[in-house]
Structure 1
Amino acid sequence: MHILTEGVLGLIAAIRSCDPSGDDRGARAGISAEGKARLAGRGIRIVQDGLHSLADDDQQELARAFRRLAGAIHSQDMACRGFWAADRSPLELADELCLLPDEPLARASSSTTPTQILAAAYLALLGSIELADEDTIDRHDAVEITSAWTGTLLRRLAQAPAEDRQELIHLFQQAAREETDPAHKAFASGFPETIALAEEGD
């Protein structure tokens, strides 16, 4: 679960912090507030809706995972930059992901798990970036974000047992099957092969 929790938090944080910096970016305009909301919104909704459709124990487990990781990120930043300069946005993001949705949701089937929700959110975030037009996000920024976080995913899996790798492939395949948007479904279906997580035909 940690690998996917890190990926979801990291992708949303990367989208929200993507602003132009440095002279080498020329006239590139970064991502507007509206664009950031659009790119991150689908993944956030999947987490919020999924979190609050879980059984109570699973709901608490997923909320703890987000808050524990956000707390660790904040603590590391405090150690580097001090209490007042440390970035609190990971803590705020964890709280946001754990918010109740506007409309009450029926409980999901007992087979729904936190890792299924995280896998679906991770793919939705990557898909939103990959499928966005250049008016929403510059291609350089899109590639930078997706490459960084798929690279992190693969590095974490390289240190994990083989069964964890297979379980993640299964979670991604399941998320792709349940995807309803045709473009997102096509992206999600090919994702494991695209990053060489699985061989074609697995």
Structure 2
Amino acid sequence: MSTQDPSASAGQGTTPDPARTPAPDPAQPQAEASPRPQYQQPLPPHHPFAADQPGLSQQEYVQQAAAQGLLPPPSSMHAQHPGGALNIFGIIALALLVLQMVFSAFSPVIYQAVMINGMVNYTALSLLVSVILGLVLVVALVLAIVGVLNRNMSRMRWTAVGSLVSATLGLVGLVLATVIPWLTMAF
């Protein structure tokens, strides 16, 4: 009859007795017995999410991509945009529309200040403000059309397109606001 230590027999292929094994403490986190199996193969370095792989820093990723010819040389990264010149007509048209918006927003203050001083009558002031707003819209519309039609100025072309739409809608609104009161008085 041999007496063996129960802990020594546990390592020899027999399972330990659950009654003798202490219960795990729920307050302490348990380490996993085996690492999780990896089901995915590592991503190639040119893959968009390859930088998210563990063990590959952003600098290493950029160096690998540059070595494989996937990135342009550093001198051409900061070169002039190849799309063409800046669309200055669209930018000026957009600035004029901002000016028109500010003038429209403060026109009631102008009306009030002029009417209090009694310098000009209301009809002449209203006509003057409408003419100024109309001229700004027409100039912005012409600049926007030139900016849209000029294909060489492709950078920030969206300013010309947006100004074209905004100036057109603003001009239609101004014409309707001027014509509809005349039509209502006629009938």
Q: Structures share a fold, TM > 0.5?
A: no
TM-score, normalised via structure 1 length: 0.25
More contact order relative to length (CA 8 Å, sep ≥ 6): 1
Greater C-alpha Rg? 2
Determine which structure has the larger helix proportion and give its number: 1
